[in-house]
């Protein structure tokens, strides 16, 4: 497995497709490894003429983990403070995670790339476009938000799922059961995954190292970064926003707000989609991303 030893962090990553084609960097969400990207979705993106790079964010998978300082706030207190728009103390912020990505681009000798992020990954992509606009050719923000607590607060059960910890994180079978519980809380209530389909999606992730404390640190980074609406309104990056109509964690209103904030952003609402990537949408999502990328290239 390739590992990039960067100035501030060590990141694991994978490359797919021809290096001479437009580069798309996929950024995964909270607590999830790069292996959580559906293989069929990756195959479709490569088939549509794109070079694809996936990587593990800090504090997840095979990338570097950071210690938790006792001075930082607990997640429940941090969520309460964020809802009240009060400052949140965290080991790092989304900006640090965005700079990790920029360092990875430097390491791979990529001047600029097309960023595609889901959930927290979408936020990292947004922040990267904000602080390093010259490095981002286009932005695709999927099931993500601006940090505004009034539009980005989902159902209580979905939020509670962020606190769930696996009973035995070192046991792949127990970890798989944990991912199934969280997944069934966040997926679209209107799309019934066949058992084999769901197992295929989650089995690979359960074989990767998982640290619930790392996921908590990532969540604190989101909360500490606050409302980024003002920064998003100044973006000039070509932007596509994709959001499920049945998202229980980050409601559709959150995606609509991101699209409204970013000048000239396009919004694509997906039916039968919650806080997940249903296989029924792989072709449509990959086609939308590829078109957005090629439009930005031209």
Q: Do 97 and 221 contact (CB within 8 A), yes or no? A: yes
- Measured in Å, how far apart are the chain's first and last C-alpha atoms? 34
Pick 63 or 170 by higher pLDDT. Answer: 63
The pTM of the full predicted model, rounded to 2 decimals, is 0.96
Look-up of token digits 């069934």: 184
Give the pLDDT band of residue 171 (cuts 50, 70, 90).
Answer: confident
Q: At what angle do helices 120-131 and 94-107 cross, to 10 degrees?
A: 70
The pLDDT tens digits for 269-280 are 999 999 999 999
Separation in Å, CA 76 to CA 13, 69, 158, 160, 219: 32, 16, 14, 10, 11
Q: At what angle do helices 212-225 and 75-83 cross, to 10 degrees?
A: 20
Is it the case that residue 181 has pLDDT exceeding 80? yes
Q: How many helices (H) and strands (E) does the chain have?
A: 11, 8
Give the pLDDT band of residue 163 (cuts 50, 70, 90).
Answer: confident
């Amino acid at each position: 497995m390739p590992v990039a030893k960067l100035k501030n962090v060590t990141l694991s990553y994978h490359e797919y497709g021809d290096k001479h084609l437009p580069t798309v960097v996929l950024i995964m969400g909270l607590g999830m490894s790069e292996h959580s990207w559906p293989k069929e979705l990756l195959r479709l993106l490569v088939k549509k003429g794109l070079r694809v790079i996936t990587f593990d964010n800090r504090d997840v998978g095979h990338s570097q983990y950071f210690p938790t300082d006792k001075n930082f706030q607990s997640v429940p207190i941090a969520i309460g403070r964020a809802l009240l728009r009060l400052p949140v103390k965290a080991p790092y912020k989304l900006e640090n995670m965005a700079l990790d990505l920029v360092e990875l681009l430097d390491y791979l000798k990529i001047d600029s790339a097309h960023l595609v992020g889901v959930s927290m990954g979408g936020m990292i992509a947004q922040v990267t476009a904000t602080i390093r606009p010259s490095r981002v050719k286009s932005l695709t923000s999927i099931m993500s938000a601006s940090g505004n607590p009034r539009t980005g607060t989902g159902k209580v059960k979905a939020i509670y799922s962020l606190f769930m910890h696996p009973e035995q994180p070192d046991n792949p079978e127990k970890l798989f059961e944990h991912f199934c519980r969280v997944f069934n809380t966040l997926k679209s209530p209107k799309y019934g995954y066949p058992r084999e389909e769901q197992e295929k999606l989650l089995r690979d992730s359960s074989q990767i190292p998982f640290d619930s404390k790392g996921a908590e640190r990532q969540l604190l980074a989101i909360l500490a970064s606050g409302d980024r609406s003002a920064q998003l309104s100044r973006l000039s990056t070509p932007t596509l926003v994709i959001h499920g109509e049945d998202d229980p964690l980050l409601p559709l209103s959150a995606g609509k707000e991101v699209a409204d904030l970013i000048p000239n952003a396009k919004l694509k609402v997906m039916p039968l989609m919650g806080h997940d990537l249903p296989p029924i949408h792989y072709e449509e999502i990959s086609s939308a991303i590829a078109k957005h990328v090629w439009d930005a290239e031209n």
